[in-house]
Structure 1
Amino acid sequence: MTAVASTQKSNLKTGLLAGALAIGMVGVGFAAVPLYRIFCQVTGFGGTTMRVSEAQAATVQAVSKTIVVRFDANQRGLPWNFKPERPTDTISIGARDMTVFIAENLSDQPIKGMATFNVSPAQAGKYFNKVQCFCFTEQTLQPKQQVRMPVLYYVDPKIMTDPDTKDIEEITLSYTFYPVDQAGKGS
């Protein structure tokens, strides 16, 4: 084999390896968001709340200690009015409760939005359990339409025994609505 042929073969291997690495990195990039979301939902990392079923929620016993839950609503780039029906609620830890957020399309066109959420303080996220929620679901509001969006939730009594959370007296549940274009991608 000549030196030129050997160099060409080496360059081809290097090019194929670089191409495979680039394709792999693109795949990891696409998988990162859903994997991060799953990680946060499983661990409560960064104030991400836990999602539970009705059956799981039914097994939790309420205690006499209460906690204040504050509700926050924001929108980014939507001609919507978005707010909680009531700004705070005092609940018994472990008891299921419901709050309602109200969204109104102020424009004269149908608009799609999707909400994300977080809990603060962040360490309380793993104890804030949502049984039913409108988050991560596209919501289409017709012109001037107003909708009520319920959130069914409870605070796990384990919050009282965790050294990092036992002194928390108030939790904030915050939602932010973002526009979704017609192709189903966030704007």
Structure 2
Amino acid sequence: MQRRPVTPDSAKNRKVAILSALLVASMVGLAYASVPLYRIFCQVTGFGGTTQRAEAAPEKTAERHMTIRFDANTAPSLPWIFEPVQRSLDVKVGAENFAYYRATNTSDHTITGSAVFNVAPDTAGAYFNKIECFCFTEQTLKPGQSVEMPVSFFIDPAIMDDHGMDKVLTITLSYTFYPVDKPDSVSSSGKTSTETNLN
């Protein structure tokens, strides 16, 4: 049985097929990587109101004061009452502050939730730093259980050097809780929350 001779056209077609397969594989890989890359981009730049994370507040504070408002939302599929304990705080730029949110499971079964967050205006995300937050981990509530969940934060004094932020006097910190289908095996709610039973 004779082999067909390799013609220039067949070699060209094979090369195109290999390049196409590599392109498809690259696109699939990029699709999987795009979410974490976008998340990293948002965390670094504050894009879309994404807040920053810090180990500690700076040693020096500024004389500027700002009002922080607190907003709470839940997904329609999550039977929790979720609300800020305080509606707003007057804070000093650079100083560490503490705020609390309260969540109550109104259902008859244990539910794990996870909170997503942002700040408004979006441009404030680059200067809003969280040190500790209930949103860093999943929260599990038993039926009728209520918890108070802390968040510690500060406004980066670098905001003083951004003249585009001079007229921003109020920042709104907003959270939305969603149910988690497959919760982590270890819940952190006992570590970060003050628990009360409604039953």
TM superposition score normalised by structure 1 = 0.86
| Mapped partners of 2:16, 2:140: distance in 1 | 49
Aligned equivalent of 2:194: none
Question: How many equivalent residue pairs?
Answer: 181
Higher-Rg structure is 2
Aligned equivalent of 2:50: 48
1:113 aligns with 2:113: yes
| Mapped partners of 1:32, 1:148: distance in 2 | 34
Look up the equivalent residue of 1:101 and give its one-letter code: Y
Identity of aligned residues (%): 49
Instruction: Give ranges in structure 1 of 5+ residues lacking alignment.
Output: none
| Mapped partners of 1:109, 1:156: distance in 2 | 41
Aligned equivalent of 1:177: 177
TM superposition score normalised by structure 2 = 0.82
Instruction: Give ranges in structure 2 of 5+ residues lacking alignment.
Output: 185-199
Does structure 2 conserve the Cα–Cα contact (< 8 Å) formed by 1:70 and 1:88?
Answer: yes
Aligned equivalent of 1:24: 26
Indicate how the Cα distance of structure 1 residues 49 and 3 shifts in structure 2: closer, same or farther if over 3 A, else same. same
Aligned residue for 2:182, secondary structure, equals: coil
Aligned equivalent of 2:88: 88
Q: Aligned runs of 1:57-96 on 2, under 5 Å? A: 57=57, 59-76=58-75, 77-96=77-96
Aligned equivalent of 1:37: 39
CA RMSD, 1 decimal:
2.2
Does structure 1 conserve the Cα–Cα contact (< 8 Å) formed by 2:138 and 2:183?
Answer: no
CA drift of 1:113 comes to: 1.4
Look up the equivalent residue of 2:19 and give its one-letter code: L
Indicate how the Cα distance of structure 1 residues 171 and 23 shifts in structure 2: closer, same or farther if over 3 A, else same. same
